[in-house]
Structure 1
């Protein structure tokens, strides 16, 4: 772990472009300045934060709702739980291809067929709503993880408290607000922390479907680093961007670990 990090740090302070072979002179923080002044940088940061916040919000809200639905006994509950968790084991590239061709294709996709069936004009999702399309793909894959964590948390809940609340006249909303939601606070903190760390590096879905476009509409930090490294052949700037991403991920991780720690102390 240390050797690649040190090499990235070294590359980030030298002039290292694969299209310009020769001596790699020391240039200090110029690569960092070039990366943060890239016209796509502010858009990429905004898209990263929007992707992060949207996916976390979707997975937490829907994860709790679905976990509550499948927590109570019903025929076939085991099969339903397996089906709910299975999307998490689909590789990101396969996930992106499924949504790109099977669901969102404007000619033969499922959404296009539904639109035609109701007399509406099919939408080219990846062109008209590129970032929203990526958010849907990523949320679909991470939703099973949230469901699994919340189901596990609900199974450890004290049933006697719920029964006592029902006997005291508490309705379903009151039970959820004052008993279930506080009980799920630790699970929610864990889901948010883990998802935030991993979602900062979303790449496969963007590369496979939108290519960061149209323009920079769906470019995030990870894809911007890719463009600098492999499309512009600038190893130095890409290394500076990679260290920026590492710093961003560590800041988020420290903040969330403290938040989880405070929850555990309650």
Structure 2
């Protein structure tokens, strides 16, 4: 009974992979058809491209930094919203809402309404206290992208960790209180160990999605200034749809798959040792 579903998923997964691998060995430029076999020319050009180290570094930064930020803020919000307080239901709804905003819309809001150096809300707040507004996307483009991505994924981390906290035995917390444990000690020795497995799952899921960050870059910086915010997905886009070089873009796609598998393998090993 499962065979049709498995077959569809296999075709869906392997056909694009095989085609990407095939095109990576072709001299295939959309402006100069038809394609012809080029061997390792695309890979040679890719690995000698001076932009590649910057692109890989940007990719890793856009994975690890938002991952740390979302984990820290997710834990903080989960612990905060787990306790009783007036309006808790509304507060939980509001903290989760940004996750349902499309990346393109979120990037436009941050670019034009919040971080804009002239009429952005943050610039207005800076003027109120006598500070000079900052053109974030020119002066600190990577920081601006990290802020947008972290804002979008913190609700997801909060939702996962808050759900996990609902299964925590409250008697453990009460026993720790009776033994004189302070709030920080209760979090480190009772709450955090309970969250180890959800955190491991969260890291795996977020890593997969953060490796494919694209819309926020396209809407705000277009990979610039220069290649300051170009990651592997945007590099593939620029080579395929701006440079019309399908062969080079396919080689970069194969390289992206290798990077994703290496990062996933690293996290699996680390998490398996911890758990």
Give the TM-score taking structure 2 as reference length.
0.92
- 1:189 maps to 2:200: yes
Provide the C-alpha distance between the structure 2 equivalents of 1:85 and 1:179, rounded to a whole number of angstroms: 25
1:177 aligns with 2:188: yes
What are the Cα deviations for residues 25-72 of structure 1, in whole angstroms up to 9, with x where unaligned? 322222112112212111111111111111001000011011111100
Deviation digits for residues 121-156 of structure 1 (CA, Å, limit 9, x no counterpart): 110001100011000000000000000011011111
Which residue, out of 141, 147, 153, partners 2:164? 153
Residue number among 64, 80, 98 corresponding to 2:75 in the alignment: 64
Q: Deviations over 1:76-95 (max 9, x none)?
A: 11111111111001000001
Residue 218 (structure 1) aligned to one of 218, 229, 250: 229
Query: Is 1:47 aligned with 2:58?
Result: yes
Instruction: Report the Cα distance in structure 2 between the residues aligned to 1:168 and 1:122, rounded to whole angstroms.
Output: 50
2:15 pairs with 1:6: no
Deviation at 1:120, TM superposition (A): 1.2
Determine the C-alpha separation between the residues in 1 that align with 2:127 and 2:269. Answer: 50
Q: Measure, in 1, the Cα distance between the counterparts of 2:110 and 2:213.
A: 16
Structure 2: any 5+ residue segments left out of the alignment?
Answer: 1-12
Instruction: Give 1:253 shift.
Output: 2.5
Contact 1:71 1:154 in 2 (8 A): yes
**Misfit runs of 4+, over 3 Å:** 257-263
How do 1:210-249 and structure 2 match up within 5 A? 210-249=221-260
Aligned residues: 263
- Secondary structure, counterpart of 1:21 in structure 2: strand
Between the aligned partners of 1:200 and 1:33, the Cα distance in structure 2 is 23
Q: CA deviation at 1:256?
A: 2.8
Cα distance in structure 1, aligned partners of 2:87 and 2:43: 55
Q: CA RMSD in A?
A: 1.3
Select between 57-66 and 26-35 the one with higher mean Cα deviation: 26-35
Q: SS in structure 2 opposite 1:25?
A: strand
Query: Where does structure 1 lack aligned partners over 5 or more consecutive residues?
Result: none
Q: Distance in 2 between matches of 1:79 and 1:120?
A: 34
2:28 corresponding residue in structure 1: 16
Q: Which whole-Å CA distance do the structure 1 matches of 2:250 and 2:128 have between them?
A: 49
Q: 1:110 aligns with which of 121, 127, 133?
A: 121
Tell me the CA shift for residue 254 of structure 1: 3.2
SS in 1 for 2:105: helix
TM-score (norm 1): 0.95
In structure 2, C-alpha distance between the alignment counterparts of 1:147 and 1:210, rounded to whole Å? 28
In the TM superposition, what is the alpha-carbon distance from 1:252 to its structure 2 partner? 2.3
CA distance in 1, matches of 2:195, 2:83: 16
